[in-house]
Chains A and B, each alone.
Chain A
């Protein structure tokens, strides 16, 4: 008589399946895409037609050697944020060395002064993308710090804790005004 085949112990099956499961959990990356979001301006036919007062503009140039020129002076990435923040903060009473300010109000924030300043960013075709992103990041940091201070001043809390309406009000009060010039060769690149 043939002996019946002994039953295979399936008790460790769960462990094997667990191992597989954990392997998949670890290896699949839920890569969250994040980055600096910007809005491109609509194309203009005649770029010369837009005129802004000189005192309202802060010029940031990056050349093909990745060097900065901030308002005509050689600049540095480490100080760029402070310069930009100082420039964009509304200065009242009217100070000719800073951009114009205008009174504005919002039902959530109340009365505030809004700066008319614009940061003009210009780069060469030979500028490295890395530097460009660093500059964009520093400028964004300047704006975020201004927003953070306004939120602290008016609502007494950080930006991250604000409700959606309040956050929108703050974003309206401190618009991120970074204007990128129409591309042209400012020298050095190809």
Chain B
């Protein structure tokens, strides 16, 4: 009969799904590589205060962090709030050096856009915070951001 016999009865061939795992794995690796892990391990307790009038920190690469809070290992370091710079406890007098190092690590053009994010435990006393702020002023790191969580605080009184 006809030379070109159409095989109507066959239907559409099944799409091969054997490469699906590879695609998914690629996605997986993409996410694993791009999501940033926290680079400093916290050595102070961190319970941020709440606020409503907050702004997002725009450029993450221009932000340096100062952590202040009660030490995690209280048996060893006591309960008084400590300052943490990078990965270790520091004193107030170490702040200018920290600011200088952070500034060195950035582009010259971006240096005056740098922000210091103060991550401070809510039970900290203002004394140490004021000291740090004074040091930042002296080191001319004027842009600061008090890190807070979004939400309304319940006013007890």
Contacts and interface: CB of A to CB of B under 8 A. Distances in A.
Interface of A: 10-11, 13-14, 16-18, 20-21, 24-25, 28, 30, 32-43, 76-78, 123-130, 132-134, 136-137, 140-141, 144, 183, 189-190
Which 7 pairs, one residue from A and one from B, show the smallest C-beta to C-beta distance? A125-B127, A17-B24, A140-B53, A13-B21, A130-B122, A137-B51, A35-B147
A15 to B, nearest CB: 9
Contact of B134 (A16, A33, A38, A183): A183
Contacts of A32: 56-57
A129 B20 contact: no
A35 B54 CA distance: 5
A129 B121 contact: yes
Majority secondary structure, A binding face: mixed
30 contacts: A10-B21, A14-B20, A21-B27, A21-B28, A24-B28, A24-B31, A24-B35, A25-B31, A33-B63, A35-B51, A35-B148, A36-B146, A36-B148, A37-B143, A37-B144, A40-B137, A40-B144, A42-B137, A43-B138, A77-B157, A129-B123, A129-B125, A130-B123, A133-B146, A134-B49, A136-B146, A137-B53, A137-B148, A141-B53, A190-B127
B35 A127 contact: no
A128 B126 contact: yes
B92 interface: no
A39 B142 contact: yes
Interface string B111-154: 00001011011111111011001101110111111111010010
Contacts, number: 150
Given A21-B24, A37-B144, 18 more contacts: A10-B18, A24-B28, A32-B57, A33-B57, A33-B60, A33-B63, A34-B57, A34-B150, A35-B117, A36-B148, A39-B142, A40-B133, A40-B136, A123-B126, A124-B126, A130-B49, A136-B51, A137-B148
Interface of B: 17-18, 20-21, 24-25, 27-28, 31-32, 35, 49, 51-57, 60, 63, 115, 117-118, 120-127, 129-130, 133-134, 136-138, 140-148, 150, 153, 155, 157
